[in-house]
Structures are given as structure tokens and as C-alpha cells.
Amino acid sequence: MEGDSIVIEDHHRRAASSIAEALLPLLEAAPGRKALTIAGESGSGKSETAAALKEALESSAIKALILQQDDYFVYPPRSNDAARRRDIDWVGPGEVRLDLMDEHLQAFLDGAEKIDKPLVVYERDSVEAETLECNEARVIIAEGTYTTLLEKADWHVFIARDWQQTRAHREKRRRDDSELDPFIDRVLTIEHEIISRNRSRADFVIESDYTVTRTGAS
């Protein structure tokens, strides 16, 4: 999403390094492109962990790309917030074009040289477009709250930190004061009920202390 900013910290790099260490022999054993997701609740560090994992893979000469779920919302951020306030039942995976994300993961896995994807521009509250160049990339990382639900991924990573644990991080990254009002706490409670159930689909779990557990889900 254009206008977003992330700060990669040591704990993100430690978790990413552990995951990369586990992935490298799997990538060596199975040639071709691969897809991976990183999911978790708001403020859990999905974007930072994805960026850190990209760094870790590329330090081993494996080029990686990142897809952000934020670009695949049906409505851009402020419009989506308004839709939630009109109808709280709007909160959930239906807010996101997960089918299009899966389509783009499959295109990457099938060898696409480029992907024409949506791009959310926060300041204009708009959904625009951009082209993602895929040449030479070996791994694509899809990050976002509901990305564990994506079907076209070889591995799923789940960050096991809930919205109450991540409040300080959300305060640091917030783009608008409305993101921390009581209504948002209600939204995050609903998201928690949905997202926490997805942990069982994960192949790797980043625990609340940022240690990594390999679950063997796939």
C-alpha cells in the first residue's frame, strides 16, 4: 500500500532468519517458484516480518517478492472504515479480494513475468493499479490478516500475537487517530475470533516471544 511505512526490528529479523533457515533446504529440494503467506492480527508485525524474510532469502541469493493484503481490500481504508461503521458484519475475510490474491499467487507459480495488481493509495483513499515485475523471483510472500486462508501457497506462517499485545505497535504505525478509537477495538475483537482459528493451518508459528515453531501442518 502506497503511503505505508514499516520499521524492521531485531525480533523481526530473528524470526525471519529462523524461517529462512528452515525454508532453504525445502527450496533446494523442490525447484521452481514457491509461495508463502504471513498472517496475524493487526499490528502483529506481518509487514515487517515479510520484509525481513525477503532480506533473509535474498542474502542467500533467492529473490523474493511481497504481496500486501492491504492492496486487495474491496474498499480503500477510509471507505472500508465507513462500511464497517454502517454494518459491523462487514468485518471479516469478505472485506478482502482473497480470490484475486490467490489468482495472482497462481500466476506467479505458473511463471508469469509480471502481475497487474491493485494498489491502495492511502492519502487519496483510492484503489489504483501497479505492475509487479516477477522476473528472476523464486518466492512470493503474501502478507495480511487473512492470508492463511489463501489456497495457492506452499507454506503458511502465523504470528501468534493478539490485538491487545500489539497495541503499542499499532499506535506507532497508525495513520489516523480513528484507528485507535473504541470502535476499532470492537473490530479487532471480531478479527481475533476469526484469525485465531487459522493458526491450525500454519506450517510455522511465530510465538509471542518471536521464537519460531514448525508445526508440520502441510
pLDDT tens by residue, 112-135: 999 999 999 989 999 999 999 999
Model confidence band, residue 161 (pLDDT cutoffs 50, 70, 90): confident
- The topology under which CATH files domain 10-214 is Rossmann fold (3.40.50)
- The structural domains of the chain, with segments of one domain joined by +, span 10-214
* Distances 3 to 124, 126, 127, 200, 218 between C-alpha atoms, Å: 10, 12, 13, 33, 35
Each residue's pLDDT tens digit, 33-58: 999 999 999 889 999 999 999 999 99
Per-residue pLDDT band for 165 (boundaries 50, 70, 90) equals: low
- pTM score of the predicted model: 0.90
Q: Smallest Cα–Cα separation from 196: which of 37, 42, 14?
A: 42
- Given a contact cutoff of 8 angstroms between Cβ atoms, the answer to whether 195 and 49 are in contact is no
Instruction: Give the span between the Cα atoms of 89 and 68, in whole angstroms.
Output: 23
What's the mean pLDDT in 97-115? 98
